[in-house]
A and B are shown apart, each in its own frame.
Chain A
Amino acid sequence: MSMFSIFDISSSAVSAQAQRLNVVASNLANVDAVAGPDGKTYKARQVVFQTTPMGDDSAAGVKVSAIQESDVPGRKVHDPSNPLADADGYVTHSNVNPVEEMVNMISASRSYQNNVEVMNTAKTLLLKTLQMGQ
């Protein structure tokens, strides 16, 4: 029954979007992280989506192929009184852009909802198909 693979497709998308939400959450949690003594600070992470075949070529799921760290330089704030400040008095924060992350979060949550709706519709149709001839 080909309709059963809708659940595979949509669940792959739901789990990919959930992973995206996880990454957004860790980015937002570290938005104010300051560089430690080694000078390295938290780097914003992004998921990379990739189409993955499900059974045959007409059914395409999605998977997270990689999680990339952003190379944007960290935000520098002049704060000489901070013990973590460098020789010029600058403190390096993480390179997370909170606006970007919020937009990412809304997009991920909408896609998640859409895929759940797809699964619900497929379930309704399959249940009706089971009742065929009754």
Chain B
Amino acid sequence: MLDKMTNQLDFQGHALLLRAERQRLLASNIANVDTPGYVARDMKFAEALTAATGGSSTMPVSQESRAGSYGTTDAGHIPLSGFSEHSTVGYAVQTQPSLDNNSVDMDHQRATFMDNAVRYEATLRFINAQAKTMLSAIQGQ
């Protein structure tokens, strides 16, 4: 019963964590815009979220069933709790070549940074609204 109430919140919680992780990647890219040889990092959000929630797009599976897929190659390994965000981090595609081999596209990074910030806020609002819905359901008024 409680699981049904918190499933949706759990999903949005994963999304929020991934948004924070992506925000950090984009901040790293913007910080290193003048570093020679730096390669921009990014993540495919949809794939990362699917991986974090165990393949289901709306309903996450339980913690135990998906933990086994990360970092374990032997039956004796202790599975990681939670998801590993680094497994889905890749490299951003370079738009224009530069002399110092830096692949950060500043305009693109700034646009993505703002987009990610708005989506982070959206996820926060979803969480807030869901918590309010649950509370009013509990109170039954």
A interface, CB within 8 angstroms of B? 1-3, 5-6, 9-10, 12-13, 17, 20, 48-51, 54, 56-62, 107-108, 111, 114-115, 117-118, 121-122, 124-125, 128-129, 132-134
Contact = CB atoms under 8 A, between A and B. Distances in A.
A132 B27 contact: no
Interface of B: 16-17, 20-21, 23-28, 30-36, 38, 41, 85-86, 89, 106, 110, 113-114, 117, 120-121, 124, 127-128, 131
A58 B89 contact: yes
A115 B114 CA distance: 13
Contact of B27 (A6, A49, A50, A128): A6
A6 B24 contact: yes
Contacts of B32: 13, 49, 51, 60-62
Q: Please provide the 10 A-B residue pairs with the shortest distance between their CB atoms, ordered closest to farther.
A: A13-B31, A60-B28, A49-B35, A6-B27, A3-B20, A9-B27, A9-B31, A121-B117, A118-B27, A62-B31
